[in-house]
Structures are given as structure tokens and as C-alpha cells.
Amino acid sequence: MGIFRGKVILVTGGTGSFGKCFIQAVLRQHMPKRLIVYSRDEFKQFKMQEQFAAHKEVMRYFIGDVRDRERLRMALRGVDYVVHAAALKQVPLMEYNPGEAIKTNIIGAMNLIETSIECGVKKVIALSSDKACNPVNLYGATKLCSDKLFVDGNFYSRKGGVRFSVVRYGNVLGSRGGVVEFFLARKKTAILPITDPRMTRFWITLDEAVKFVIDKFKIMEGGEIFVPKIPSMSITDLARAIAPGCRLKTIGIRPGEKLHEVMISEDDSRNTTEFGRYYVIRPAFYHPDKKYKRGRSVPDGFRYSSDSNGEWLSVSELKSLVGGG
């Protein structure tokens, strides 16, 4: 039954797209002692209680904010593993409300790290974003800072104490507020606005993201940033897959937006090891374990970018994923 058998798991931001999918997978494939949803939205928690009513003996629901250190400390008592999925992530809104992004994405990360150490949690994986690599907007900058906090949080944990690692991936198919949802809503207008026809993005399904996180709980040593090898897609191909009969209207790249996303920069490459279907960015200031010598060091100057990726989704593949046409 794997690493979660008989364990207590807490998911911050547990009412979000990833949180619900993660909880479904753990309930289906493992036998946890308890699963705790920690989030701010009481209505979403109420709907989750209905959705997971058959598992009410296992499920627990905490109304709380990662900004609230005392509430986190109470929720983390007796917890073995934490998935940190709570974040403010809408790029334009974060540019307009920078202080709020800092309070949730950075201060909230600090609160979780410190209370996890205090409460004796065993392992924590924080979810990151491709926007954290060479950030050009505030959201990306806060996630980069969060990544650094979780990696370096291992310095503060005693030997044999809690281990912190990060998982970084690209756009998630089916996530709330994503581009697929945006295109589907505008399909009936016969015009799809796109920012730039050259734009590319990394692509991963929710199920793939959840499986990747669960797998990395099994092998993490602490301090790694795990990056999956995932396909890229062209924004114009996605538009053709969802609404082939619509006219595409170029509106220009928005402030804080990149033409292509990067998950591993040239500077990161010096500390990056390649494995079969993923990369590991090792911590720059210490090496958690010699086991990563089993992988292959990437070439100097390596860059994992959505435009130069060797794996691409075709229009037909995108259509089968998003149900377009």
C-alpha cells in the first residue's frame, strides 16, 4: 500500500484542483489513517465533505490559512506527511495585490516550515511552478522565494527530522482558471483571443502531477527540486484542438507573461541530474545523498524550456485530452 499506509497526511489548499485529485488517489490506492484538508474556503470544504462522504472516518477538515501560524500548529499535530498546495497564483491579480501574494506564498511557506519542524512532521513536498524559474512576474518571484525557503528549510531541521523538497511542473490540464477553461468559455463566440501565436507551454495532467508527487515522497532525501519530463504544446495548437472553427485573434502578451516557460535554467544546470522521466535540481549548498550520482549530469548550459523541448503534443493529442472539436 506504499508510503501512506497508516499515516496521517495534511494537504494545504486541499480544496483546489490538485488537492482533490491527490486525495482521491490516496484514498483509492493507499490506506491512510487520516487525510486532513486545510484551506480557507468553508463552502468548498462543505462540498468536499459531500463528495468524500463515504470516507468520513478518514477525512478531516480544518478551516485555516497558511498565514496563521497558530492554526497551522494545531492542524499539524500528529501529521506524518504534508503536501503544500496552498498559493495565490493568478498573475494579474498578484501584480495588483503584491502584499497579499507575499503574505500567502512566502510568509505562509515560512510558517509551514517552522511549524512542521515544531510538530515533528516527517516529510513535506511543496508544489512549485515553471514561473518560479527566472521569474518575470510577482507570482513567479514569490514561488522562487518559496522554493528557496523549502530547500533551505532542511538546514533548520535536526538530523533525522523533517525533510523538505519541492516539485516543479508546468500548466495543469483541468486546473481551475486555466487556459482550457478560458478557451471553452469563449468557444461559442467564434473568436478565441490568444496572446501570441508563437507562445508555448509545458503541459501535464492532474493525474500525472499527483502520481509524480506521490512517487517523489518515496525517494526524496530533502532539498531537491524535482522536475518531471513532460511535453510542450503550442497555444495555437491548443486553440485549434478546442475550437477548430474559431478565428484566432492576437491580443499581445500581457504584463508579466513569458513567450516560453523554463523549468530548469542554465544556472540550475550545474546542479541538475537527469533520470529516466525526471530531473533533480540538487541543493546548491549541500548534497543530500550520494544516490544522485546514479543519475546523469546534464551538459553545462543545459536549459529545459517549453520551446526547445523534445516532446510535443499534436493537435489531435490535445483534442483527445481536452475534448475539443
Distances (CA, A) of 59 to 27, 50, 231: 10, 11, 34
Distances (CA, A) of 268 to 151, 202, 304: 14, 18, 10
Question: Strand 163-167 to strand 225-228: parallel, antiparallel, or no bridges (unpaired)?
Answer: parallel
Q: What is the dihedral of CA 107, 13, 214, 201, to 10 degrees?
A: -80
Sign of CA dihedral 312, 316, 318, 320: negative
Told to judge if 131 belongs to the known catalytic residues of this protein, a careful annotator would answer yes
Q: Give the angle 24-274-259 at the CA atoms, nearest 5°.
A: 75
Per the residue annotation, which of 131, 216, 258, 319 is the catalytic one?
131
Q: Which residues pair with 264 in a beta bridge?
A: 304
Do residues 61 and 48 touch, judged by C-beta distance below 8 A? yes
The tally of CA atoms less than 13 A away on the side-chain side of residue 92 is 4
How far apart CA 19 and CA 213 sit, in angstroms, is 11
Do residues 171 and 131 touch, judged by C-beta distance below 8 A? no
How far apart CA 15 and CA 236 sit, in angstroms, is 31
Do residues 318 and 241 touch, judged by C-beta distance below 8 A? yes
- List, by residue number, the catalytic residues: 131
